[in-house]
Amino acid sequence: MSDKRTESIAELETSFQTVFRTFRKDINDLFSDDVPSNEFGVLNLLKDKDFLTASELAAEMKVSSSHITGVTDRLIKKGMITRERSVTDRRIVYVKITEKGHSVAEKLASIRRDYFREKFSGLSDEEMERMVDYLNRMI
């Protein structure tokens, strides 16, 4: 690998870290103190799917089951989600969003959409399409 390419990769790594750290901090600042971005992630998934198991949530969010347990415990205390056992298999526990959780998720999704709309306002449609293409190639 050439020195130039190695240097470019290092630059990209630094830029990605800075961008994602900035986005996360900005979004957490915009959201109320009661709902950090990791809790919003759970609410946002449940908003669209109504219910999932903790394992399914962990897989969707690419985090550990123990992380999801902590997040769901906090959201239950806030009245935004519930845990309910399956009627057909008592071993299965579903995590479901409440009306309060759905309302909060909708509000925060709107705030996040507005934030990204502003962040990307300086890019042309073509630049946005290229950026999406580049990012999708890395997934």
Contacts of 112 (CB under 8 A, 6+ apart): 27, 30, 40
Higher-confidence position of 1 and 69:
69
3-state SS class at 96: strand
CATH of 31-138, one of 3.90.1530.10, 1.20.810.10, 1.10.10.10, 2.60.120.10: 1.10.10.10
User: Distance (Å, rounded) from C-alpha 109 to C-alpha 36?
Assistant: 13
Q: Where are the domains of the chain?
A: 31-138
For residue 100, what are the contacts with CB-CB under 8 A and spacing of at least 6? 78, 79, 80
Number of H helices, E strands in the chain: 6, 3
Q: Specify the long-range contacts of residues 26-32, CB closer than 8 Å, at least 24 apart.
A: 26/115, 27/112, 27/115, 30/111, 30/112, 30/115, 31/108, 31/111
pLDDT reported for residue 113:
96
The pLDDT of residue 42 is above 80: yes
pLDDT value of residue 68: 95
Q: What is the pLDDT of residue 133?
A: 96
Select the highest-mean-pLDDT range: 1-10, 23-32, 92-101.
Answer: 92-101
For residue 50, give both structure tokens.
């109504």
Mean pLDDT for the chain? 94
Residues in CB range of 86: below 8 A, 6 or more apart: 92, 93, 94
pLDDT single digits (tens) 70-125:
999 999 999 999 999 999 999 999 999 999 999 999 999 999 999 999 999 999 99
